[in-house]
Amino acid sequence: MAKTPPTERQLAVLHWIADGCPAGVMTDPKYKVSAYALDVEI
């Protein structure tokens, strides 16, 4: 099964994680769903 590229939201979560999860950036708790879907531990 071919994987689809990450969505804009998923890319934003990945960039946020790469930046060290700075406080106040991800104010909506839905980032956890994106991280889970990407199999990323935050």
Full-model pTM: 0.68
Q: What is the pLDDT along the chain (42 residues), one digit of tens a residue?
A: 567 888 888 888 889 989 998 999 888 888 888 777 777 666
pLDDT at residue number 5: 84
- For residue 13, give the amino acid letter: V
Sign of CA dihedral 21, 22, 23, 24: negative
pLDDT at 20: 92
pLDDT at 1 (0 to 100): 58
